[in-house]
Structure 1
Amino acid sequence: MNPLLAITAAKLGSNILGSIAGNSAEKGPSTAEMKKAAFAQVLAKATNTPEYKNMQRLSAEGIGSRSDVEMTLQQMSQKILQSPEIAKALEGSSEPFDLKFLPDGNVSLKKADGTEKIFKLDGNLKETAQNAVSIIESAKIAYPSGLASSKDPGGSLHIVPGAKATLQS
């Protein structure tokens, strides 16, 4: 066979194959486009979950983990514990206690001896307690490990004076 004829035939065959491949690509999406569409679907489903939405809500508060939740709640509890009525009830005790944030914006103080008292908060302190309940509820969904056991709204912070506070449901 003539070499020039062979080169021409090869080139023509290549053009025909390229044309066929081009036509099939026009009829359906490419593999890359299909993968991109599948990824977009997975991403849409993942961002539509309660866990993701609550993580976003907590993230807006500067909270990115359960330890951040505990630290934020500890800071909130320090404001509440400065209330004259609550400070008087604790009277400088070094015993651990539980501070429960109630949905109505009040708190319950449970001492180590088992005595428990509800304190009605007003104004800024009530707002702080309600925000704490909201954070706890979001944390129960976003970081369920050890928190999802309680169906009751709110939660309590186990506080050991001078040490880290621990969130309990």
Structure 2
Amino acid sequence: MAGAPTVVDIWPVLVPVVIGGTFGLLGGLIGPLVTQYLGERRARKERRSQLFEAMISGTYEYGEWLDTFRRALVFNEAVEPGPSPLNKVHSIALLHFRELLRPVMRMNMDGIRYQEWMINAARKRNDGDTDGFDSGFPEATGGWINAQAAFLDLAAKYWTDRKGAV
């Protein structure tokens, strides 16, 4: 009988159809999962890079904030320094960049010393000591400037060691 196909005759036609269907089904199920995983990974890298940039930017903003704070406190200028940007820098380092936490804390301590100098200078100025109220200024600012420079150097090394993939 030439008209009735046997099982042996059907397999050469059926195997490619079954394999193709399996690949299509797996591609339809696995493709979106792989795409989602890669998209989330890219978004995490981008978010981490944005946080790193915010931390560096906050460091420079803190320097400006200290200057505004000094003008308001020591010279009684009518400027409002607002909250310290170093709080944001510290929280980003604490949550995302633990390797940079120690230099941020050092920067904070030297900034506090600078603020203590400002308070003492304002006190002296208010007491009428206009000649000696600025004594100790280079030492007070030097610690903060050195701490900021050390942090920025370490952050730049952190960035370059990871080729920008923080």
Q: Same fold (TM over 0.5)?
A: no
Q: TM-score range by the shorter chain?
A: 0.3 to 0.5
Which structure's residues are more often strand, by fraction? 1
**Structure in which a larger fraction of residues adopt helix:** 2
Q: Structure 2 length as normaliser, TM-score?
A: 0.37
